[in-house]
Amino acid sequence: MENINKLIDKNFDEEVEFLQKIISFNTVYDFNNATDEYPFGKNISDCLDYVLERSKELGFITKNIENKVGYSEIGDKNGDLYGILCHLDTVPYNNLDTWKAHPTSGAIIDNEIIGRGAIDNKGSVAATFYAIKALLENGVKLNKRFRVILGLDEETEFRCVDRYLNTEDIPKYSYAPDSKFPAVYGEKGIIRLAIKRKFEAMPMEPVILLGMTAGEKVNVVPDKAIAYFGGKDIAKIYIQLEKFDRDYIKFDYFEDKMIKLEIEGKAVHAMHPQKGANAIQRLFGVLEKLDFAPMELNLWIKDMYKLFKYETDGNLLGIVMTDEISTPLTVNFGILRYDSENMQANFDIRYPVTINPEYAEDTVCNAMKKTGTAISILNHKQPLYADKNSPFVKTLLNAYESITGDSSEPVVISGGTYARAFPNTLAFGPNMPTDEDLAHQSNERISLSKLKTITKIYAKAIFDLNVIEKEVIKTTKIR
């Protein structure tokens, strides 16, 4: 591996430029401009085309599948198929004033590449291609087919995966470089649901809550929530708001007709909402002390505050769940919309790997009935729980340890990756065990030293998988 690592060092400036280029594409799902030709928006498709074209230059065979998913494949056409499951789409970026550089700039500041997707998941895309480039330049003969699958809808509904699985070859084994090292052998169950209700106010009410909006993605803790008040007595609301002593509250008259209330929070990934500050929960903590119409909505917000307050473990809701393997259940109040009549709120709930999925879903739905709303399950991704002593896992662990010297055990995570969708698949990197998780946050970034290290880890993993004998990794979804 010494010569391969030297080649990674030699090609590193080129790798950095490649990563900066793919960061420059704003690959957030563009639902306003989605078409039959570009189902997730043209920007995401343009990014895919760029990556496929660059990988062709490295000798890969490429395929763009209806601008929903693509892949780049290299190796012996008669060999077993191994998958490396990446994604090019990203979550939205907000609060630009909190970023050191624009989220699509790929700027290098203090030896770190800044940009949305730098760690989730474009950094892994760059590391994977330049790991394989180094292997090829060193003369390694690939005995297997290695296929880098490039999804475009991982952050939303996995429609890219559904499309791929419908017609394409399924890898015998795969890893998803979209989580953490040393390797991941379990992923918590994820339930995403929506609640809906109508609240109508009479136009002559003295103070009316006209609207609320917060959150763009249910798997991100919202960092901003906004509410608008109207009516002939809105000065009353202004006076009530002046009594709050909170640095996250901002309010003022809006267009001389309304009061705009803005609540700031801290965005983090929904897999650990306790590390953030949920702007919706903060908003409800303010609203439940104010007087406004519709009265039904006023009372409902008070009830919601009692059920959630600022908790993230579902304790007040009555859905606490724990086990000995993974972290406890978490709840993220991810999206809120109200337009003077229709209210909808979306939640991301993650439960431990050994909890029966049917029990988890029934318990959550029964608890949400306390909100007095119509409830609908948007999707339910069941837990993933694998044999951590399988030869496949051991191979990945060895690759990680050989580069880092760290002999840590594999872990269970709260996040969700493509590993759930493919057989014999686990998540593997790119975050180190002690790294701060920067995915979905302002100033998402990856250090130059870390990018180089993960490239070497992936090169070692692919080198070892290239010669591993046929083995079976037992991957079990707990029922």
Domain co-membership, 362 together with 457? no
pLDDT digits (tens, 9 = 90+) for 408-430: 999 999 988 999 899 999 999 99
Domain co-membership, 273 together with 209? yes
Give me the helix-helix angle, 448-465 and 122-137, nearest 10°.
Answer: 60
**Res 469: pLDDT:** 63
pLDDT digits (tens, 9 = 90+) for 87-111: 999 999 978 989 999 999 999 999 9
Residue 112 bears catalytic tag: no
The CA–CA distances, whole Å, from 70 to 48, 75, 150, 266 equal 7, 17, 5, 34
Cβ(385)–Cβ(133) under 8 Å?
Answer: no
pLDDT digits (tens, 9 = 90+) for 247-304: 999 999 998 889 999 999 999 999 999 999 999 999 999 999 999 999 999 999 999 9
What's the mean pLDDT in 24-44? 95
166 closest CA partner among 69, 35, 40: 69
**Active-site option among 15, 73, 154, 155:** 154
Domain co-membership, 377 together with 396? no
Domain co-membership, 78 together with 225? no
Predicted TM-score (pTM) above 0.75: yes
Domain co-membership, 160 together with 241? no
Last residue of a domain, one of 334, 365, 381: 381
- If one counts the domains in the chain, the total is 2
DSSP string, 23-44: HTS--B--GGG--SSSTT-HHH
**Res 255: pLDDT:** 83
Q: What percent of the chain has pLDDT over 90?
A: 87
Residue 201 has pLDDT above 90, yes or no: no
Q: Is the peptide bond before 121 cis (omega within 30 degrees of 0)?
A: yes
Element (H, E) at 180: strand 179-180
Domain co-membership, 227 together with 253? yes
Mean residue pLDDT across the chain: 94
Residue 479 has pLDDT above 70, yes or no: no
Residue 262 bears catalytic tag: no
**Res 131: pLDDT:** 98
User: What secondary structure letter does DSSP report for 220?
Assistant: B
Take residue 73 and report the two structure tokens written for it: 């494949």
Domain of 99 in residue numbering reads as: 2-187+384-476
Domain co-membership, 169 together with 264? no
Residue 83 has pLDDT above 60, yes or no: yes
Domain co-membership, 238 together with 154? no
What's the mean pLDDT in 128-139? 98
Burial of 156 from C-beta contacts in 10 A (0-12 / 13-18 / 19+)? middle
Domain co-membership, 242 together with 299? yes
Backbone φ, ψ for residue 405 (5° rounding): 80, 5
Domain co-membership, 132 together with 14? yes
**Res 476: pLDDT:** 40
pLDDT digits (tens, 9 = 90+) for 17-30: 999 999 999 999 99
Among the residue ranges 212-221, 318-327, 470-479, the one predicted with the least confidence is: 470-479
Label residue 124 by pLDDT band (50, 70, 90): very high
Label residue 470 by pLDDT band (50, 70, 90): low
The CATH number for 358's domain is 3.30.70.360
pLDDT digits (tens, 9 = 90+) for 295-354: 999 999 999 999 999 999 999 999 999 999 999 999 999 999 999 999 999 999 999 999
Last residue of a domain, one of 347, 365, 381: 381
Domain co-membership, 84 together with 14? yes
The CATH number for 90's domain is 3.40.630.10
Take residue 58 and report the two structure tokens written for it: 């490295």
Domain co-membership, 171 together with 207? no
What's the mean pLDDT in 216-239? 94
> Is the pLDDT higher at 246 or at 107?
107
Last residue of a domain, one of 360, 381, 402: 381
> Amino acid letter at 284?
F
**Active-site option among 89, 112, 153, 223:** 89
